[in-house]
């Protein structure tokens, strides 16, 4: 019996992919995505580790299974939640279509290995960019901002809350991306990159993140002036005058100054800190601050 005939036997027909299978694949990828990180494959071994239970259900022939393992060991690198979650679902859908086409003797209709790999490679960068901006640039800072007052008060909850909440929330919506990717197949990219629901969520998180950064700056950036002067035998304190105009004006100007510096000179934190420290030392020496 040749390979094609073996594929079409009932015992070699691919098993259906269930929600439990998708959850298992997602959990394995989520736990292992940075562990076998190498220069030549990046996180491909982690992706294969996540996909293995699904591939074993789809490919009963050892040769087909081996080929599936090999194609998912090719170079792959993306953000764990938005990229990894969505591409886990899309890849599971494509591999299922390929396995079913083989089992039904419709090899011409099966997604090719190049198409499966090109789909992953073509989307991994775009999805990673969104994920890094939202997860690392917004979501985690929302939880940090919420917990910071507890941490400053000495409560251990302030240290644990951001880690627990960030882990739980990203795990849950990462699994949602797996389900969505599997359900939509290759069209999932349009939903992620251009879908109105995702755009609305990104915009809402971005606005909320800006609000939280403003709250943090207003609450924890402490800059005040010690400058005072006397006119007509009446003492004027600059800080009191500024507070009567706009409380927190100096912290606001400090934050805006740092922002404009990074905008003009590039995001070099060490150079920015040196510039800020030098400016504050000069203003302090002149008794302005």
Number of domains into which the chain is organized: 3
Task: Tell me how crowded residue 164 is: count the other CB atoms within 10 A of its CB.
Answer: 12
Q: Kindly state whether residues 109 and 19 are assigned to the same domain.
A: yes
Q: What is the pLDDT of residue 193?
A: 47
| 83 in any annotated domain | yes
Q: Kindly state whether residues 134 and 107 are assigned to the same domain.
A: no
Helix (H) or strand (E) run with residue 231 in it: strand 228-231
Q: Kindly state whether residues 48 and 60 are assigned to the same domain.
A: yes
| 180 in any annotated domain | no
Q: Which two tokens stand for residue 214?
A: 């403003």
Q: Kindly state whether residues 23 and 51 are assigned to the same domain.
A: yes
Q: Kindly state whether residues 45 and 99 are assigned to the same domain.
A: yes
| 22 in any annotated domain | yes
Residue 91's alpha-carbon distances to 13, 22, 94, 124, in angstroms, are: 19, 11, 5, 12
Q: Kindly state whether residues 211 and 156 are assigned to the same domain.
A: yes
Q: Kindly state whether residues 121 and 14 are assigned to the same domain.
A: yes
Q: Are 90 and 182 in contact (CB under 8 A)?
A: yes
Q: How many CA atoms lie within 13 A of 45 on its CB side?
A: 10
| 267 in any annotated domain | yes
Q: Kindly state whether residues 137 and 147 are assigned to the same domain.
A: yes
Looking at the chain, the number of H-run helices and the number of E-run strands are 13, 2
The answer for residues whose C-beta is within 8 angstroms of residue 126's C-beta and 6 or more apart is: 189, 193
| 177 in any annotated domain | no
User: Going residue by residue through the chain (289 aa), what tens digit of pLDDT does each one get?
Assistant: 555 555 556 667 888 899 999 999 999 999 988 888 777 788 999 999 999 999 999 998 888 899 999 999 988 888 889 889 989 999 998 898 888 888 888 777 778 888 888 888 888 877 887 777 788 777 888 888 888 888 888 888 888 998 999 999 999 999 999 998 888 775 654 555 455 555 565 566 566 556 666 666 666 677 777 777 676 667 767 777 777 777 777 777 777 877 787 778 776 777 777 887 887 787 777 777 6
Q: Are 51 and 72 in contact (CB under 8 A)?
A: yes
Q: Kindly state whether residues 119 and 145 are assigned to the same domain.
A: no
Residue 217's alpha-carbon distances to 57, 148, 167, 222, 262, in angstroms, are: 52, 12, 25, 9, 16
| 9 in any annotated domain | yes
| 236 in any annotated domain | yes
Cα–Cα distance between 162 and 168 in angstroms, integer? 10
Q: Kindly state whether residues 67 and 80 are assigned to the same domain.
A: yes
Boundary residue ending a domain (103, 125, 147): 125
Q: Kindly state whether residues 16 and 100 are assigned to the same domain.
A: yes
Q: What DSSP character marks residue 267?
A: S
Cα–Cα distance between 163 and 69 in angstroms, integer? 33
Q: Kindly state whether residues 47 and 106 are assigned to the same domain.
A: yes
Cα–Cα distance between 223 and 277 in angstroms, integer? 13
Q: What is the pLDDT of residue 184?
A: 77
| 11 in any annotated domain | yes
Domain span holding position 43: 3-125
Q: What is the pTM of this model?
A: 0.66
Q: Are 116 and 98 in contact (CB under 8 A)?
A: yes
Q: What is the pLDDT of residue 66?
A: 92
């Amino acid at each position: 019996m040749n390979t094609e005939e073996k594929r079409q036997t009932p015992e070699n027909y691919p098993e259906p992919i269930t929600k439990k299978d998708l959850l298992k694949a997602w959990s394995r990828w989520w736990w292992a995505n940075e562990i076998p990180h190498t220069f030549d494959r990046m996180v491909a071994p982690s992706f294969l580790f996540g996909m293995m239970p699904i591939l074993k259900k789809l490919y009963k022939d050892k040769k087909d299974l081996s080929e599936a393992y090999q194609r998912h060991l090719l170079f792959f690198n993306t953000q764990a939640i938005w990229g990894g979650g969505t591409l886990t679902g899309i890849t599971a859908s494509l591999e299922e279509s390929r396995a079913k086409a083989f089992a039904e003797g419709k090899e011409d209709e099966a997604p090719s290995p190049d198409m499966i790999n090109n789909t992953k490679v073509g989307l991994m960068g775009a999805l990673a960019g969104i994920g890094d901006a939202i997860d690392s640039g917004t979501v985690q800072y929302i939880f940090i901002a919420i917990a910071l007052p507890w941490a400053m008060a000495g409560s251990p909850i302030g240290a644990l809350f951001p880690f627990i909440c960030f882990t739980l929330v990203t795990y849950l919506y990462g699994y949602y991306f797996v389900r969505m990717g599997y359900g939509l197949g290759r069209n999932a990219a349009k939903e992620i990159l251009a879908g109105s629901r995702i755009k609305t969520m990104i915009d809402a998180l971005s606005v909320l993140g800006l609000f939280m950064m403003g709250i943090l700056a207003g609450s924890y950036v402490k800059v005040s002036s010690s400058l005072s002067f006397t006119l007509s035998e009446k003492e004027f304190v600059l800080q009191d005058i500024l507070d009567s105009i706009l409380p927190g004006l100096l912290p606001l100007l400090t934050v805006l100054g740092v922002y404009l510096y990074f905008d003009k000179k590039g995001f070099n934190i060490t150079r920015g800190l040196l510039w800020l420290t030098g400016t504050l030392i000069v203003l302090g020496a002149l008794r302005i601050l």
